[in-house]
Amino acid sequence: MSHAADRLLAFGYVVWWAGDSWKQQPLSTLDRLMFGDFAVGADGQVANRHGWPGQWAELRAEVRRLGVPLDVSYSILEPAVFNAVFGSAENQRRLMNDMLATVRDTSISGLHLDVEIVAPVAPQARANYHAFVRQLVQSVRQMPTRKLVSAFLTFGADQYLYDGPTAQLFDHAILQGYDAHWKDGLNAGPVAPLTGPDLITWESMRAMALRLGLQNHRVILSFPMYGYEWEVEPCLPRGKRVAEGSITTFAAAPPGVPQVKADVIRRVSQGGAIHDPATGSAYYITAGGAARCTVGWFEDWWTLERKSQWLVNEKLGGLAFFPLGYDQGELVEFFSRRWRPRPPQKP
């Protein structure tokens, strides 16, 4: 399935650190899953598969039963690793062979390239990466069973990583829809603003997709199931951070998830929430000292509805929930009921 003309697509990221929290999700309502991640080393070999495939036998069996396509995500997050991999023909060969061997597995429906580069890379490495993507897509499309190749595009991907002809090769481009603010940033602020003054907004990412010439139905926005909270001074929604921020999850966090201080549902039940029409996001404020307080920004049902309606208005493909498990299925189910109605049952 490459796109659906009559409804928004719903993708989901299954992440290794959330364990078996995928079992809490209504997987049958999703169009596609991405397992993350295979960490690529500087020599082009996968440095860590995070227990794949043996530790994920239940997931693989369940998606086969449901008929939900499952892709494997390969990640490169550092310019130095990118330059080492794509600066060497031998390293590229290793990575290509690994990817093609993975996607030949009958339980795998595609490959997802999570190449998150937000700084300049060596020009020759970038040119080699473009050639690598062309060869990869061509090889996958020649396989007897249809498989897809998608990519995650960060803010600035058109500047640092992709040109139009290369980005247009992907079956889907999942655009960064979050981390406009982060836990170590200077100020509190919305994590996933739709509009507004922040560098990363859904509108600015849409503009990048237009610059790259991406077809609307191939464009997916990533929707965060997490937020951040900060101690700030002065006590304002975008106040200056005075201590390290922390990650929050929408619902109670799965066991073992690192660095999660609280969940949004509990925070809001204690003090309420404010929905910000300017950014299409939400925040809460908890009492602090005379000048300080704690501010948390997050996404919920209201923001999901607002952003989904924007996707429809822009005629874009859909959204990708990141990561599955942080909402205990609440937001995925809400989206499914609202934007992906099931066909009527036969009497």
Q: Is the same domain home to 77 and 205?
A: yes
**Per-residue DSSP letter, 77:** -
| Judgement on whether residues 247 and 197 belong to the same structural domain of the protein | no
Average pLDDT over residues 162-187: 97
Q: What is the DSSP string of 205-254?
A: HHHHHHHTT--GGGEEEEEESEEEEEEESSSSTTPBB-S--EEEESSSPP
When mean pLDDT is compared across 156-165, 307-316, 331-340, the lowest value belongs to 331-340
Instruction: Please check whether residue 83 lies inside any domain of the structure.
Output: yes
Residues 143 and 107 in one domain: yes
| C-alpha span between 30 and 24 (Å, rounded) | 13
Identify whether residues 119 and 73 lie together within a single domain.
Answer: yes
Is pTM, for the whole model, over 0.85?
yes
Co-location of 234 and 286 in the same domain? yes
Confirm whether 34 is domain-assigned.
yes
Assigned domain for 347 exists: no
Pair 116, 252 in one domain:
no
Could you tell me if 196 and 240 lie in one domain? no
Q: In this structure, are 286 and 326 located in the same domain?
A: no
Residues 182 and 280 in one domain: no
Shared domain for 114 and 205, answered yes or no, is yes
Range 158-163 average pLDDT: 97
SS (H, E, C) 145-203: CCCEEEEEECCCHHHHCCCHHHHCCCCEEEECCCCCCCCCCCECCCCCCCCCCCCCCHH
Measured CA to CA, the distance from residue 122 to residue 117 in angstroms comes to 12
From 280, 296, 312, the end of a domain falls on: 296
Q: How does pLDDT run across 258-275, given as a tens digit for each residue?
A: 778 789 999 999 889 999
Tokens, residue 278: 């300017």
294-332 burial, b at 16+ Cβ within 10 Å, e below that, comes to bbbbbbbeebbebbbebbeeeebbbbbbbbbbbbbbbbb
**Which residues are CB-contacts of 92 (< 8 A; sequence separation ≥ 6)?**
44, 85, 86, 128, 132
Quote the domain boundaries for residue 250.
230-296
Average pLDDT over residues 49-69: 96
pLDDT at residue 261, rounded to an integer:
79
Task: With cut-offs at 50, 70 and 90, classify the pLDDT of residue 43.
Answer: very high
Same domain, residue pair 256 and 125: no
Backbone angles phi, psi at 296, to 5 degrees: -125, 130
Given a cut of 50, whether residue 254 has pLDDT beyond it is: yes
The tally of domains found in the chain comes to 2
Q: Determine the average pLDDT of the residues in 64-80.
A: 97
